Amino acid sequence: MNIALLSAIIATVTSIAVVLLQEGLKALASKQQRATSINSEYLNPLRLYAEETFFRLHDIGERFAKGQKENLLFLEDIQHPQQFSQQGDDWFNGEGCYFASSCYFTACLFACIKKVREDIPYLKLGKANDTAFLCRIFVVSHSFLQELGIFYAIQHSIGSEMYVVQEKRLLTYREFCNRLKNSETRVWFDRLISFYLDINQGKRMLIIDQAMESLYHLSEFCDRAVQGSRSIDTRLKAEKKSIFSPKK
C-alpha cells in the first residue's frame, strides 16, 4: 500500500472519528441540558416555597422565643376559618396579609410537593437521589401532620386546589384570597387555616421546629440538584439572622 493511499485512509478515518465524537458530545450536552431544564422546572418552585415557608415559621418561632405567646401572626379577633369568608380585599392586603400569606406559602409548598411526587419519573436525579429526595419530601409532609395537624390527604387536596391545570401554574395570592372569601371553596383550606390559627395562639410550636428542620434539609437537596447556592443560609445571612443549625 503506497504512502499516499495510507495517508488518505488515515485522514478519512480520523475525520469520521472526529465527527462521531462531536455528535456524541453534542448529544450528551443536549441530554444534560434537558435534564437540567426538567429539574429546574420542578425543583426551583419547590426550592422557593420551601424557603418562604421556612422563613415564615422562623419569624414566628423567633417571636415566640422572645416571649410573645399569642397573636404570633398578628391576627386578632378571628378564631374560626369561617370568618375569613367575611373579609374584604382590603383585609387580605392589610391586617390579614401576614396570616393569609403564611397560608398561601404553605399551600404552594404542598402543590409543589404533589407535582414532584406525581412526576418523579421525569426528574433526572439518579436512583439513589430519587430515594433520598422522596424521603426528604415525606419528612416535610409528616412534620405538618404532627399533633393531628394537616393530614396527608388534605395536603394533597390543597396541592390540587392550588394548581391551575390549563395554564400550568399556581394560584396567585389574589386568586388564593378569593378562594378563602368564598365559603364553598374556602372549606378545602380550612384545615390549613386552623393549623395557623393554632400557631397564632401559641400552640403547635413543636411542629414549627420539626417543620423548619425538614424544610432546611429539603432546601439543601434542591440547592445541590439545581447547582445553586445554599438558599436558606444565604438569605439568613442577608437578613442578618442567626445561621440555622439542624439537629441532624
* Domain extent for 188: 45-238
20-78 confidence digits (pLDDT tens): 666 555 544 444 454 444 556 778 899 999 999 999 999 898 888 888 878 888 888 88
203-228 confidence digits (pLDDT tens): 888 888 899 999 999 999 888 887 77
Tell me, what DSSP letter sits at residue 137?
A: H
Return d(Cα 106, Cα 207) in angstroms, integer. Answer: 14
Looking at the domain assignment, is residue 4 inside a domain? no
Looking at the domain assignment, is residue 18 inside a domain? no
- Residue from 202, 204, 236 nearest 219 by CA: 236
Looking at the domain assignment, is residue 27 inside a domain? no
Number of folded domains in the chain? 1
Looking at the domain assignment, is residue 79 inside a domain? yes
Return d(Cα 29, Cα 21) in angstroms, integer. Answer: 12
Bigger pLDDT: 247 or 241? 241
Looking at the domain assignment, is residue 100 inside a domain? yes
* Whole-Å CA distances, 36 to 29, 41, 44, 85, 226: 10, 9, 11, 42, 7
Looking at the domain assignment, is residue 185 inside a domain? yes
Helices (H), 147-230: 152-161, 173-181, 183-186, 190-200, 205-225
